[in-house]
């Protein structure tokens, strides 16, 4: 099955049809999607600003991470759980949108980076994070901004 056939199949799923079937469910799910993105992006930015020494200097980075980990995990889960029905409801349209695939690729990279690398930096015993924490913070900001910019572009290109 080529990818386009898969996208066409997505378009016909019960969930996709249900979202498309009325005028109120897409806005509702998308608004929850954006609310979750706000919390996710904001929470990750807090740890990045801390490692860059730009804010929250009175709170050790590992302590900040422990407090924010739950809101990052829950909001990311919510972003994905709301993103899937949104995608299913207009899969073919998104396949034709040049911003969609870059967004998904950046999202996968950002998630892998977050749990594979970023979490290691933010669990450091050093109050401001490890020496390479600043680099991790910059990469994190670039990746998540990239996801956000590509996502924003979907509605405009």
Partner 1 sequence: MSLLEICQWMENLDWAVALRESQIVFPVIEGAHLLGLALMMVPVLMFDMRLLGLMWADEPASKIRNQFLPVTIVGGCLMVVTGSILFASEAVKCYGSNYFRVKVLMLFLATVNVIVFHSTIDRRIAEWENDSPPPPRAKLAGIVSILVWTGVIFAGRYTAYNLF
Residues forming contacts to partner 1 in the complex (CB under 8 A) are 23-24, 27, 30-31, 34-35, 37-39, 41-43, 45-46, 49, 55-59, 67, 71, 148-149, 152-153, 155-156
Q: Which is nearer to partner 1, 37 or 91 (CB)?
A: 37
In order, the DSSP letters of 80-140 are HHHHHHHHHHTHHHHHT-TTHHHHHHHHHHHHHHIIIIIHHHHT-SSTT--TTHHHHHHHH
Q: Which of 27/116 has CB closer to partner 1?
A: 27
CB of 103 to partner 1, least distance (A): 13
The least CB distance from residue 120 to partner 1, in Å, is 22
Cβ neighbour number for residue 77 with a 10 Å cutoff: 12
CA 66 remoteness from chain centre: 19
Closest approach of Cβ 115 to partner 1, in Å?
19
Of 151, 11, 144, the closest CA to residue 89 belongs to 11
Nearer to partner 1, 4 or 66 (CB): 66
Closer to partner 1 at the Cβ: 2 or 156?
Answer: 156
Contact 87, 10 (CB under 8 A): yes
- Measured from the CB atom, the residue of 10 and 103 that comes closer to partner 1 is 103
d(CA 111, CA 130): 20
CB of 69 to partner 1, least distance (A): 11
**Shortest distance, position 57 Cβ to partner 1, whole Å:** 8
**Phi–psi pair at 152, nearest 5 degrees:** -65, -40
């Amino acid at each position: 099955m080529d990818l386009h056939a898969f996208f066409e199949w997505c378009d016909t799923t019960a969930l996709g049809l249900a979202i498309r079937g009325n005028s109120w469910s897409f806005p509702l799910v998308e608004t929850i999607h954006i609310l979750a993105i706000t919390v996710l992006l904001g929470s990750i930015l807090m740890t990045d600003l801390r490692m860059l020494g730009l804010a929250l200097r009175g709170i050790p980075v590992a302590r900040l991470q422990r407090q924010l980990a739950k809101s990052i995990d829950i909001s990311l889960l919510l972003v994905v759980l709301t993103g899937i029905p949104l995608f299913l409801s207009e899969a073919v349209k998104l396949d034709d949108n040049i911003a969609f695939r870059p967004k998904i690729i950046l999202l996968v990279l950002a998630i892998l980076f977050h749990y594979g690398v970023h979490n290691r930096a933010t669990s450091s015993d050093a109050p401001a994070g490890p020496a390479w924490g600043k680099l991790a913070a910059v990469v994190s900001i670039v990746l998540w901004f990239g996801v956000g910019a590509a996502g924003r572009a979907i509605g405009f290109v």
